Amino acid sequence: MRCSTMRTLATVLLAAAAPVWAQGGAVYRCPNNVYTSEISEKEAKERGCRTIEGAPITIVSPPRRPTNPPVQVGGNSPPRSEGQKVDAKEQRARDSDARAILEAELKREEEALAALQKDFNNGEPERRGDERNFVRYQERVEEMRNTIARKQADIAALRRELSKLQQTSATRPE
């Protein structure tokens, strides 16, 4: 579906776009598909550019994305303009919600890491039936090692976020 939509969009844009002719000079095609009419013939030769004579140049601009309205997060409070501050009570509630979400995520990641490390068995996981070939086994061990490293990095990032949250809530006046 996406391919046909893109093809249709390209067809419409190409059909609607009028060819733009270079004003008063040649158009040069330089290395790396750079097109210009802003250089002299001498500069074009020095750069290794070729003249494109009589070829129309079509400019296709990308479709504009619609601007989305601001998303209201949490609560039934009315949307605020940029200069307004959040009530201290509301901010504490938001911080509490964020902390609970981060702590739940941290717990889930730590449990997943513990399970991975148990399966990893200090770099010597049990071989499976489809791993008669030692190379396959080594590939799985390396994949497990990488997954454990990613989980550890995720846990460290979650802990950093939690510490930032605790620091900001500690500096906020009551």
- Distances from the Cα of 21 to the Cα of 17, 36, 48, 54, 147, angstroms: 12, 12, 22, 8, 55
With 80 as the cut, is the pLDDT of residue 76 above it?
no
Does the model's pTM come out above 0.85? Answer: no
Take residue 169 and report the two structure tokens written for it.
């809530």
Chain centroid to Cα 97, Å, comes to 26
Instruction: State residue 80's pLDDT score.
Output: 60
Amino acid at site 20: V
Task: Sort strands 50-52 and 34-36 into parallel, antiparallel or unpaired.
Answer: unpaired
Q: What is the pLDDT of residue 59?
A: 63
Q: Which residues pair with 51 in a beta bridge?
A: 28
Q: Which of 67-81, 134-148, 159-173 has the lowest mean pLDDT?
A: 67-81
Which tens digits make up the pLDDT trace of 107-147? 999 999 999 999 998 888 888 888 788 888 899 899 999 99
> What's residue 14's pLDDT?
44
Query: Cα–Cα distance between 90 and 97 in angstroms, integer?
Result: 11
pLDDT of residue 20: 40
SS3 state of residue 9 = helix
- Give per-residue pLDDT as tens, 10-62: 554 444 443 444 345 678 788 877 777 788 888 888 888 888 776 666 666 67
